[in-house]
Structure 1
């Protein structure tokens, strides 16, 4: 039988892959407008939106660069995933 901890860890890992895929999709406007691109946006934007509110885009040349997804990915990996795994270890074991 699979434990609740394993299910949570796999779900969090899947979400991290979706976050990364969402960042990659932004490089390809045609994919971004597809069904998959819109689905990725709907799944990941609630998390990315938190960071977009606080981290402004940086002007580079004739356009803007949004660094908030990079910060969001780092925070998710270093704090959210590891923090939840640590807390699950403390509570369940």
Structure 2
């Protein structure tokens, strides 16, 4: 059971780091079609898209700032905690 909990924690942590890497890369990269940028987009977009849609529907951020990574990381931590409490 311990190995399962640790594996789940690592999985969620890696996803969170990938979301953070995408944020940082969007600030510093001039080439959105590069290999790393495409990889991060492909991996994190399925996670970020629902939160981006939700934030636009609610009207949070006003379209100027994408707050979906913050919501996604919060949600990932919440789900990780719930899974670990169940196990």
Check conservation: 1:55, 1:67, Cα contact below 8 A.
yes
Greater C-alpha Rg = 1
Residue in 1 that maps onto 2:86: 87
Check conservation: 2:32, 2:38, Cα contact below 8 A.
yes
Tell me: higher relative CO, structure 1 or 2? Use CA pairs within 8 A at least 6 residues apart: 2
- Identify unmatched segments of 5+ residues in structure 2: none
Q: TM-score, normalised by structure 2?
A: 0.77
Q: TM-score, normalised by structure 1?
A: 0.73
Check conservation: 1:48, 1:68, Cα contact below 8 A.
yes
- Identify unmatched segments of 5+ residues in structure 1: 89-93
1:42 correspondence with 2:46: no
Q: CA RMSD in A?
A: 1.9
Aligned residues: 82
